[in-house]
Chains A and B, each alone.
Chain A
Amino acid sequence: MRLLNRSAGRVSRLRRGPLAGLMVMLLGLLLTGSLYAAFSPANADNEAKSDEALIQEGRDLFLVGCSFCHGQNGEGVSSQNGQYGPSLIGVGPASVDFFMGTGRMPLQIPGQQGPPKHPVYTQDEIEAIAAYVGSLGPGPAIPDESEYTLNLTGDERQEAIVKGGQLFLANCSACHNFDASGGAMPWGKVAPTLKNTSDKHIYEAMLVGPAQMDVFSNGNIAPEDKAAIIAYLNSIEDNPGYGGFSLGGLGPVSEGMFAWLVGIGGLVGFAYWIAAHTTRSQKKEEEA
């Protein structure tokens, strides 16, 4: 009995130790982590996997990561304040690849617009989820590299790029700006810059029309014209800035700010210098 009391006392002494809280937390984290690793679907590679297995793996991942907002069968979730997560039936694999490949999904916080960030899922996992969402209803497929690459050389290539530029100015520049550096939309939304977006994701965005963007389906802009637009976007990035500093390519806002602050500021500085008093000497001037 005495022994028991003594050991109990030792434990409670330990429990009160300064590092006890930290130890408990570390143990808890370790336990949760290993349980998650044991029960969450494995990230095996998708090659040599039958469609059914891929869809099943995608469904497992979907149930863990997506179903909270999009519903257990991708039917969407509505809340009192309106739509919580939209239905994914018929959006197609291209939509999944775009939203998850650019990191827009999973969303960190509900808001006007999901900002792009570093993707959370690997490409294999994204493809599995895309296969599952694709099985819910027909929608645009993930494009092949040959679809968004312009396979032309010489004058033909130049011509296609020129046409791509005209298509870009007619269809895209209203929101994404003449230099593809993006622009503001109503209610705090933005049309993002296209400079850091991969060719595949630009192609997918045209196909699916993410969020407020309009759809530019293959019946609207033919696949080869889409490839021409992408080639044009790459060509303006490859060209050196002949006009000098682009100042973000945002047009009059940044250029006007530069003119006012640096240009006029510099002129004011010069004016101060011209009119400032020069050093004076305390010595008397010698009479000549």
Chain B
Amino acid sequence: MSDHSDNLPAVQEPIADPGLPAHTPRPTDIDPKAERRAERQVAFFFLLSMVMAVLFVVAYFSLDLGKLEEDGTREATDTFWGLGASHVALGVTLGLTMMFIGIGVIHWARKLMSDVEISEQRHPAASSEEDREETLAALQAGLEESGIARRPLVRNTLLGALAFAGLPLIVGLTDLGPVATSSVRRKTLEKTVWKEGTRIVRDVTGTPIRPEDLEVGDLLNAQPEGLVHLHDASLKREGVDYLEGAPLHIEKGKASLILLRMEPKDITHGKGRENWTHQGIVAYSKICTHVGCPISLNEQQTHHLLCPCHQSTFDLADSGRVVFGPAARALPQLPIKVSEDGYLVAQSDFTEPVGPSYWERDSK
């Protein structure tokens, strides 16, 4: 405190500093018995922590996680209240090991460590006048000695070197992806794998769909053929490109589809979309036009598809029109038809980019 006293402004307090109240001792300060009791309590918490650490080791080795049996059932796992006993025991014992150390330390500080009140004055953050002058003088001397003002060649090349040092950083940013020029956008954001004749298959199973499979009210989560990891290898066909890994996920993120069958009389066809459906079967992008959540939360009787992320609601009987929520664009509709062999296929790609809007969406 005295170190800074020379640095303190001389301020006249409007009200005299009342000072600290008189210090009153704790029972542990004056009663040796109480002091010993508190000491034992602190030690007890530390002992409890040790016990918990030991119990952790015991639980780790004794409790069974359960093994998978030959017949597919799981060998009886040790459970506790319907929870995995091992996880519960390990978590509780390790947590209490830490907590008892903490409780012991705080109890120690509250009962036994010094509790005399102290006060410290706040002091100005600025350095003293002398220090500031001294520093400025040193800086000035350094500039003079380096001669940076007299040697423009050195100065300018230094500035150039510093500017060029930023280049590797900027070049590294190109790893984020191609620059979204209009030709790149046409091949990426604005294009999906759907094209004329691409079969629509069920998600997960990957089986093709005949229109007569579907009843009025049916909802299907569908994918283009080739984007479903097939459980049944016999479904693979010649001439279909089966994607794997990252390309699969990129394409699936754009091409996922919702397929519904409704009463044909319920559908209000959009302009020029009269032939986009087949006997009341309609197909829409599954990617919300707001921020791109996959949606399949549909109400059968109203044909309203609700996005669970921000409650955007689309009317699937009316060209995917937005009826509620923050989405600004209708859900893109995929024109579909029936192929010669009787399966549902796409007529073309989506006629507009799927998913959320982006700056350049409407600029050509």
Contact = CB atoms under 8 A, between A and B. Distances in A.
Given A217-B215, A279-B26, A244 B88 contact: yes
Given A154-B70, A219-B212, A171 B221 contact: yes
A72 interface: no
Interface string A225-267: 1000000000000111111110000000000000000000000
Contacts of B204: 163, 166-167, 170
Contact of A212 (B27, B221, B260, B299): B299
Nearest to B28: A278
A214 B218 contact: yes
A85 to B, nearest CB: 14
B86 to A, nearest CB: 9
A174 interface: yes
A192 B37 CA distance: 57
Interface in B275-295: 295
A39 interface: no
Interface in B52-79: 68, 70-72, 74, 77, 79
B26 A281 contact: yes
Contacts of B219: 171, 214-216, 220
Given A170-B203, A171-B221, A241-B84, A186 B313 contact: yes
Contacts of A284: 25, 30
Contact of B301 (A211, A222, A242): A211
A225 B71 contact: no
B110 A278 contact: yes
B138 interface: no
A244 B79 CA distance: 11
Contacts of B298: 214
B72 A153 contact: yes
Contacts of A185: 297, 299, 306
B111 interface: yes
Interface residues of B, number: 56
A216 B203 CA distance: 13
Nearest to B220: A220
A209 interface: yes
B296 interface: yes
A282 B27 CA distance: 9
Main secondary structure of the interface of A (DSSP, over half): loop
B160 interface: no
A153 B110 contact: no
B87 interface: yes
Nearest to B102: A270
B72 A215 contact: no
Interface in A25-83: none
Given A209-B300, A215-B218, A215-B219, A240 B83 contact: yes
Nearest to A171: B221
A183 B77 CA distance: 30
B84 A242 contact: yes
B217 interface: yes
A188 B238 CA distance: 49
A153 B220 contact: no
B190 interface: no
A212 B302 contact: yes
Nearest to B217: A215
A155 B72 contact: yes
**Most interface-central of B30, B204, B304 (chain A CB within 10 A):** B204
Contact of A281 (B27, B72, B220): B27
Nearest to A176: B297
A194 interface: no
B326 interface: no
A154 B71 contact: yes
A62 to B, nearest CB: 23
A128 to B, nearest CB: 26
Given A157-B72, A174-B296, A185-B306, A286 B27 contact: no
B302 to A, nearest CB: 7
A265 to B, nearest CB: 16
B120 interface: no
A213 B205 CA distance: 21
Interface in B188-220: 202-205, 210, 212-220
Given A215-B218, A217-B214, A174 B295 contact: yes
Contacts of B25: 280-281, 283-285
A285 B298 CA distance: 76
A220 B214 contact: yes
Interface in A165-224: 166-167, 170-171, 174-175, 183, 185-186, 189, 209, 211-217, 219-222
Interface hub of A183, A185, A209, A286 (most chain B Cβ within 10 A): A209
A244 B87 contact: yes
Contact of B300 (A215, A241, A280): A215
11 contacts: A161-B72, A166-B204, A174-B295, A185-B299, A209-B217, A209-B300, A214-B217, A220-B214, A243-B87, A278-B110, A283-B30
Given A153-B71, A219-B218, 20 more contacts: A170-B221, A171-B221, A174-B296, A185-B306, A186-B324, A189-B299, A214-B217, A219-B213, A220-B202, A241-B83, A242-B83, A242-B84, A242-B87, A274-B110, A278-B26, A279-B27, A280-B26, A283-B25, A285-B29, A286-B30
Identify the 6 closest CB pairs spanning chains A and B, nearest first: A219-B213, A214-B219, A215-B217, A212-B299, A157-B72, A285-B25
Interface of B: 24-27, 29-31, 68, 70-72, 74, 77, 79, 82-85, 87-88, 91, 106, 110-111, 115, 202-205, 210, 212-221, 231, 260, 295-302, 304, 306, 308, 311, 313, 324
